[in-house]
Amino acid sequence: MVNLSLIANPQLHTWAQTAEAGLQTLLQAPDTTLGHLEEFLEAQARRLMLPILGAAAQALAGRQAFLCPICHRPLLGAAKNRRRTLDTVFGSFCLQRDYGWCPHCAEYCSPADQALGLQPQAAASPRVQEIAGLLSLRGPYAQAAKDAKRLTGLSFNPASLHRQANRQGQRAIQLRQRDIELAQTPQGLLQLSARSATSKRGPFTLIIEIDAWNIRERDDWGKTKKLRRQGQQPERWHWVFTATVFRLDQRGQTQGGRRVISERGYVVTRQGLEAFTQMLYVEALLRGLLQADQVLVIADGAIWIWNLAGDRFKDAKQRVDLFHVKEHLYELAKTLYGEGTAQAQQWLKPLLRFLESRKEGALDVLHQLQDLRQQLQGLTTSQQEKLDQEIGYFTTHHKRMDYKQAKANGEPVGSGPVESTARQYQTRFKCTGQFWTLQGDEPLLALATLYRNERWHLLYPHAAPTPSGSQNAQNQIPKNARLALAGKPRQR
Ligand SMILES: [Zn+2]
């Protein structure tokens, strides 16, 4: 049992007096609302908690063995009681802890810093790190700094928030990289697979949906005119590869008929196709790739996606998003018969029906297009090109258009989930006037994805979910314990 004298009586007395005086003033003011009272007492609670947190943190630091946090060997050359200022949700305080040298790791380190979850060169406590990270995922840094002040009383400036979020994102990238390296060895593959949360036994289908969108970066910033003079156009838009992975039995419907997916994994990166492929493979393993009876890849017609699927998910069934296929037919109808004409409608109707109601409906559509090529007289060159293009499209993809069977199996026919994933990221990463850099966007994309994948606790152990039903340890206060902070008995 750690002996904590949480707060000295005189200190408590002073605190109570200040709080009471402030409350009196507020109560006498004519325009005081409950909100004023809440905000005032929040600030007072922080003042009260700061010395308590300081004492508890000092106790935690003091109980650490003087061993290297990495190799657990004894540390040498103790530098005692080194001070370090920490910024916490209650304010700043100074922590004292010992430093030592690990000859094995050739590193100078503090076991207390490691145990407390502190980062090198940064004053932020784990809760402050978490709040900075989370708010940075929601909106531009200037906005996040304002929100932090309003919601928590913490003062960040946008630049420090940016640095903080970047640091958290770098840690998220390291965690991701560790899993990618695991996937390189057979033992590692098994480890990743064992971590997959396949609580439900029995056969299941794993669904992988893939898409890409683009982000604007500040490449060659300030060199635009020079580049243009040299006849080059600066490339500022870059692909962000995106995927979502879920099990068919994790897809359900709300009472209002809206599709929901109870558990899903996300993969989002700006680091290129090769890196994306590795990340997607890891995420699929974590979501039960090796346990799945069937794997289904759904996407639009982009050829890189099907190359990736054939390369990494060889036995997977492939399906082109139905909505994209219909769009191809709408576009063709428009080119051949004019936009919105009765003739276009009449031509389209049976083709759309074939797609969804016939066993090899897409093949029937293809044959119709080929017949049309023979029959239609007097096509313009651009109409012919469009028709040939669509014949090519259906020739390439008709085997990926098994919509009748898909519906019979209760499988999705569209890539809506990955498209909505992309849209959610875009609300943060594609704001008006926003320019990113690869150094800035990738860490934040990694942090956002770690959060969505419900692995937040890997960065912030205090955020680990507690098993449902069992009470959180910190809530287990014995029934007869009395918290007599104000020294007065509670009124009944
Ligand atoms: Zn060591």
List pLDDT tens digits, range 304-324. 999 999 999 999 999 999 999
Least confident of 102-116, 242-256, 383-397: 242-256
List pLDDT tens digits, range 12-68. 899 999 999 999 999 999 999 999 999 999 999 999 999 999 999 999 999 999 999
Residue 112: per-residue pLDDT: 95
CB 243 within 8 A of CB 267: yes
What is the Å distance from ligand 1's center to 106 Cα? 7
What is the Å distance from ligand 1's center to 65 Cα? 13
What is the Å distance from ligand 1's center to 75 Cα? 8
Mean pLDDT in residue range 137-157: 91
Quickly list H helices, 139-185. Answer: 141-152, 158-182
Biggest alpha carbon–alpha carbon distance for the chain:
99
d(CA 176, CA 196): 15
Residue 187: per-residue pLDDT: 93
What is the Å distance from ligand 1's center to 124 Cα? 25
What is the Å distance from ligand 1's center to 120 Cα? 16
Between the alpha carbon of residue 138 and those of residues 293, 334, 465, 484, the distances in Å are 37, 41, 22, 40
What is the Å distance from ligand 1's center to 113 Cα? 15
What is the Å distance from ligand 1's center to 117 Cα? 17
Model confidence band, residue 5 (pLDDT cutoffs 50, 70, 90): low
Mean pLDDT in residue range 276-280: 97
Model confidence band, residue 222 (pLDDT cutoffs 50, 70, 90): low
Model confidence band, residue 235 (pLDDT cutoffs 50, 70, 90): low
Mean pLDDT in residue range 447-458: 95
What is the Å distance from ligand 1's center to 70 Cα? 5
What is the Å distance from ligand 1's center to 455 Cα? 27
238 or 276: which carries more pLDDT confidence?
Answer: 276
Model confidence band, residue 234 (pLDDT cutoffs 50, 70, 90): low
What is the Å distance from ligand 1's center to 438 Cα? 33
What is the Å distance from ligand 1's center to 349 Cα? 71
Mean of pLDDT over the chain: 88
| pLDDT for residue 478 is more than 90 | no
What is the Å distance from ligand 1's center to 63 Cα? 19
What is the Å distance from ligand 1's center to 18 Cα? 48
d(CA 10, CA 150): 31
SS3 91: strand
Least confident of 116-125, 195-204, 205-214, 399-408: 195-204
What is the Å distance from ligand 1's center to 475 Cα? 36
What is the Å distance from ligand 1's center to 190 Cα? 28
Least confident of 125-129, 423-427, 474-478: 474-478
What is the Å distance from ligand 1's center to 69 Cα? 7
List pLDDT tens digits, range 69-106. 999 999 998 888 899 999 999 999 999 999 999 999 99
List pLDDT tens digits, range 311-361. 999 999 999 999 999 999 999 999 999 998 999 999 999 999 999 999 999
List pLDDT tens digits, range 178-218. 999 999 999 999 999 888 866 556 789 999 999 999 888 87
CB 391 within 8 A of CB 370: yes
What is the Å distance from ligand 1's center to 108 Cα? 9
What is the Å distance from ligand 1's center to 105 Cα? 4
How many beta carbons lie within 10 A of that of residue 387, not counting itself?
19
What is the Å distance from ligand 1's center to 103 Cα? 7
What is the Å distance from ligand 1's center to 174 Cα? 20
Between the alpha carbon of residue 208 and those of residues 305, 315, 348, 410, 411, the distances in Å are 11, 13, 30, 16, 12
| pLDDT for residue 477 is more than 50 | no
Percentage with pLDDT > 90 across the chain: 69
Listed in sequence order, the residues at least 6 apart from 357 whose beta carbon sits closer than 8 Å to its beta carbon are 404
What is the Å distance from ligand 1's center to 111 Cα? 11
What is the Å distance from ligand 1's center to 101 Cα? 8
What is the Å distance from ligand 1's center to 165 Cα? 28
d(CA 389, CA 86): 63
What is the Å distance from ligand 1's center to 100 Cα? 10
CB 276 within 8 A of CB 176: no
What is the Å distance from ligand 1's center to 52 Cα? 32
| pLDDT for residue 4 is more than 70 | no
How many beta carbons lie within 10 A of that of residue 419, not counting itself?
18
d(CA 455, CA 192): 14
What is the Å distance from ligand 1's center to 183 Cα? 26
Residue 476: per-residue pLDDT: 47
What is the Å distance from ligand 1's center to 451 Cα? 31
What is the Å distance from ligand 1's center to 118 Cα? 18
- For 264-323, give the DSSP string: -EEEEESS-HHHHHHHHHHHHHHTTTTT-SEEEEEE-S-HHHHHHHHHH-TT-EEEE-HH
What is the Å distance from ligand 1's center to 74 Cα? 8
